[in-house]
Amino acid sequence: MKKILCVVLILFGVLILSACSKQVENQDKILKVGIEASYPPYEFMQDGKLSGFDVDIIQELAKRANFKIEFINMSYDALIPALMGKKIDLIISSMGITPQRAQNVDFSISYFKDKNVYLKHKISNFSKKDDLKSKNICVLLGSIQENTAKQISNAVVVANESMLNCFLNLDAQKIDAVVTDKASAMNFLKQYPNIIAFYEEDDGSEGFGIAFRKNEFKDLISKVNQHLEEMKKDGTLEKFLVQYNLKDQK
pLDDT over 50 at 93, yes or no = yes
Nearest alpha-carbon partner for 207 in 101, 83, 62: 101
| pLDDT value at residue 16 | 43
Q: Which amino acid is at 222?
A: S
Q: How many C-beta atoms surround the C-beta of residue 161 within 10 A?
A: 17
Separation between Cα atoms, residue 93 and residue 97, nearest integer Å: 11
Confidence of residue 28 (pLDDT cuts 50, 70, 90): low
Confidence of residue 3 (pLDDT cuts 50, 70, 90): very low
Separation between Cα atoms, residue 41 and residue 165, nearest integer Å: 17
pTM: 0.86
Separation between Cα atoms, residue 54 and residue 92, nearest integer Å: 6
- Write down the CATH number for the domain with range 115-202: 3.40.190.10
155: helix, coil or strand? coil
Domains of the chain, residue spans: 30-112+206-249, 115-202
Residue range 30-112+206-249 forms a domain whose CATH class is alpha beta
| pLDDT value at residue 174 | 98
Confidence of residue 112 (pLDDT cuts 50, 70, 90): very high
Q: Which amino acid is at 113?
A: K
pLDDT over 70 at 56, yes or no = yes
